[in-house]
Amino acid sequence: ATSSTAMSSIKVVTIVGAGIMGSGIAQVAAQHGKKVILVDVNKDVLQKATKNIENSLHRVAKKLHKDDPAKAEQTVKSTLDNLTFSSDLHDSVKKTDLVIEAIVERLNAKQTLFSTIDSVAPKHTIFATNTSSLPVTDIGTVINRRDRFGGLHFFNPVPIMKLLEVVRTDETSDETYKQLMAWGRSIGKTCITCKDTPGFVVNRLLVPQLGEAIRMLERGVASARDIDIAMKLGAGHPMGPFELADYVGLDTTKYILDGWHQIYPNVEIFDPIETLNKLVAQGKLGVKSGEGFYNYK
């Protein structure tokens, strides 16, 4: 990790997927003066993303300029001026230096997306995936520019969490790796370097803990609320495991574990979890759908 201010030659960035993560990444990049195009297949999602970004920006700007509401308003405005929302994928990657993919955590969906944009984006454009758990190498098998491809793994909520895991595959070039690190620093993140292993550093340690908490609930050891209180007050975590799983998204949490179970069928901590599968099947995806382990309506 080095200083949070750094130069980067990447000026225009396209973020694909305007959900929890895509909107957060778009916001932070725009706050740091990058021209950002945020793309989603779903127009309702784009509208929701606009609102979420505005709300979050007001919180950030108010904190940055405590005693100067005019300056705070100017920060919000200049950030929003850097942002464009679009549902036209082809057009959005035609003049961009970096594409960050933040769509659903499914290998085939990500591969389809990258294979499409590989034929449309300029030659120099770098591709990155924000995958939580899938091997970056597997996602990249469908593209030709594998030397210009790596992982940029952000954390939720992106405007607050300082870490960025930069993932290089065996084929990521030194130049691409350097550019990804420099770009991460230029948007104020502390970057760590990680090999392309499932879950990288944080999720490989964090997600099994979420799974173990759900299994603990299934065994009747304690209620979800009490397990959350225990981990907050007994281990100093900012959120308990059920609050955090709801915050990450129960679908995303399930897809992460499913993907690892496929790769490592004999590792018990990656086994499917009945309660998690049931909630997702019922459309209870956590905060984003209004209900998960807790009710947010």
Is 19 annotated as belonging to a binding site?
yes
> Using CB under 6 A, which residues numbered 211 to 250 contact ligand CAA?
238-239, 244, 248
Helices (H), 136-249: 136-140, 174-186, 202-218, 224-235, 241-248
Nearest Cα residue to 57 out of 36, 78, 87, 34:
78
Is 132 considered catalytic here?
yes
Q: Does 165 bind ligand NAD (CB under 6 A)?
A: no
- Considering only 191, 288, 292, 293, the residue that binds ligand NAD (CB under 6 A) is 288
For residues 206 and 212, the answer to whether their CB atoms sit within 8 Å is: no
How far apart CA 45 and CA 41 sit, in angstroms, is 8
The angle, 0 to 180 degrees and rounded to 10, between the axes of the packed helices 250-263 and 202-218 is 100
Q: Is 96 in the site for ligand NAD (CB under 6 A)?
A: no
Catalytic residue among 130, 203, 243, 289: 203
Site for ligand CAA in 178-217 (CB under 6 A): 203, 206
The residue within the footprint of ligand NAD, chosen from 10, 13, 15, 18 (CB under 6 A), is 18
For CA atoms 25, 177, 163, 113, the dihedral sign is positive
Distance from the Cα of residue 26 to its chain's centroid: 11
Binding map of ligand NAD across residues 54-93, x = CB under 6 A, - = no contact = ----------------------------------------
Q: Does the annotation count 55 as an active-site position?
A: no
CB-wise, 93 or 210, nearer to ligand CAA?
A: 210
Tokens 């030397």 appear where? 147
- Is 82 among the residues that bind ligand CAA (CB under 6 A)? no
Among residues 84, 111, 156, 209, the one that binds ligand NAD under rule CB under 6 A: 156
Please indicate whether residue 54 is annotated as part of the active site: no
Q: Is 157 left (phi over 0), alpha (psi -120 to 50) or beta?
A: beta
Tell me how far apart the alpha carbons of residues 208 and 141 are, in angstroms, rounded to a whole number.
27
Binding flag, residue 192, ligand NAD (CB under 6 A): no
Contact 3, 26 (CB under 8 A): no
User: Could you say which of 87, 143, 159, 294 contacts ligand CAA (CB under 6 A)?
Assistant: 159
Beta partners for residue 191, in sequence order: 164
Among 92, 96, 132, 172, binds ligand NAD (CB under 6 A): 132
Residues of the shown chain interacting with ligand CAA in the complex, contacts defined by CB under 6 A: 56, 59-60, 63, 132, 155-157, 159-161, 203, 206, 238-239, 244, 248
Hey, which residues are catalytic here?
132, 153, 165, 203
